[in-house]
Amino acid sequence: MDRVFNFAPGPSMLPLPVLEQVQRELLCYGNTGMSVMEMSHRSKMYLEIFNRTVADLKDVMGIPEGYKVMFLQGGATAMFAAVAMNLMDGGKADYVDSGNFAHNALVEAKKYGEVNVAGSSREDGYSYIPEYTLSPDAKYVHITTNNTIYGTRWDHIPQTNGVPLVADMSSNILSEVYDVSRFGVIYAGAQKNVAPAGVVILIVREDLLGHELPITPKVMSFQKMADADSMLNTPNCFGIYVAGLTFQWIKAQGGVAALEKVNIEKAKLLYDFLDESRLFRGTARAKDRSRMNVTFVTGDADKDALFVKEAAAQGLVNLKGHRIVGGMRASIYNAMPIEGVRRLVAFMKDFEVKNA
């Protein structure tokens, strides 16, 4: 069976060289005589892997001094609660409600403090990034840099006038260059652009550690996890190792800036076609279009279903939109080669000729 072009939103494609290296090292890592899966997280060999992974992430993202990098568990969803428990500190927080995950984050945060919805596009099916008004006295501002389900992306970083900015970057971390110093906290589930599911990357500016509510479980305490170097308990050792291989792959591609160029080109191929198509149309507002998740419809649910089915038969799989929005979604993360996008556009043209 040949490998397919997998347009799944997450878990999603990993770079082939990463998978091949995992395969080569699966039974015996280096001269240890064992798999990374079988290693103690306290062993010298594993700590080398872990420390190199942290260093490589700092390198590829350009994370400045004064930030702690952690690899935790529970996914981005655990961070929805953790962010509020660690930063709310008896005050209130601004949330921009730009999508389903953004909404889930603010619903979770309400359990731990006062949430101000600073802007929302919920009533319009989250088809754009909303306007927003920030409170000067918020403990933090929360945004979702890329909205995975609706296919929208923030095209700017909000000016928060000193209020810490918290970003869920689950679906676009490492796909474009960000100035990390603009953020107080960045978190991202690994399964979209980095590694298998089960690892969440957490980057916290050090002055934001140590403000957690007393009820915070210790595995969710930013301070305690930072002090224990992510190893207050057993981390997802294998997932972190794969993340490390992806960071090395990113370096070999020329870094995030080089990938960003390719990602812009990949997304442009699809959007240019959608803008001309007589059958398909994009669903996100043009200005806010995601480079990672391209959402589109024909306007006819039967044709959508036929498209998804016929594409799969051509090795272009997992193009069905999220169950809450329907239509189609092509997730084209870092690991999706431009060839996969070209094949998809060619197939769409073909389908259009037959079905428009």
Ligand X SMILES: *Cc1c(COP(=O)(O)O)cnc(C)c1O
Site residues for ligand X per CB under 6 A: 10, 75-77, 101, 144, 148, 168, 170-171, 189, 192
For the bound state, the minimum distance from the C-beta of residue 145 to ligand X, rounded and expressed in Å, comes to 8
Which residues, 6+ apart, have CB-to-CB distance to 181 below 8 Å?
A: 64
Check if the beta carbon of residue 263 is closer than 8 Å to that of residue 325.
no
Which of 50, 150 has the CB closer to ligand X? 150
Q: Nearest residue to ligand X, using CB?
A: 75
Which of 119, 189 has the CB closer to ligand X? 189
For the bound state, the minimum distance from the C-beta of residue 197 to ligand X, rounded and expressed in Å, comes to 7
Q: How far is CA 342 from CA 132, 237, 254, 316, 327, in A?
A: 37, 36, 22, 11, 20
For the bound state, the minimum distance from the C-beta of residue 188 to ligand X, rounded and expressed in Å, comes to 8
For the bound state, the minimum distance from the C-beta of residue 274 to ligand X, rounded and expressed in Å, comes to 22
Which of 76, 341 has the CB closer to ligand X? 76
> What are phi and psi for residue 29, nearest 5 degrees?
-90, 120
Neighbours of 121 (CB within 10 A): 23
- DSSP, collapsed to helix, strand or coil, labels residue 62 as coil
> What are phi and psi for residue 106, nearest 5 degrees?
-75, -35
Which of 236, 298 has the CB closer to ligand X? 236
Which of 170, 246 has the CB closer to ligand X? 170
Which of 126, 296 has the CB closer to ligand X? 126
Which of 79, 348 has the CB closer to ligand X? 79
- C-alpha 64/C-alpha 251 separation (Å) is 18
Closest listed residue to residue 63, CA positions, set 218, 210, 247:
247
Crossing angle of helices 255-276/237-252, nearest 10°? Answer: 80
For the bound state, the minimum distance from the C-beta of residue 75 to ligand X, rounded and expressed in Å, comes to 3
By CB atoms closer than 10 A (0-12, 13-18, 19+), residue 136 is exposed
Please count the CA atoms within 13 angstroms of the CA of 121 that sit on its side-chain side: 24
For the bound state, the minimum distance from the C-beta of residue 101 to ligand X, rounded and expressed in Å, comes to 3
Closest listed residue to residue 40, CA positions, set 199, 231, 202, 242:
231
Crossing angle of helices 75-87/100-109, nearest 10°? Answer: 40
Which of 10, 158 has the CB closer to ligand X? 10
For the bound state, the minimum distance from the C-beta of residue 147 to ligand X, rounded and expressed in Å, comes to 7
For the bound state, the minimum distance from the C-beta of residue 278 to ligand X, rounded and expressed in Å, comes to 31
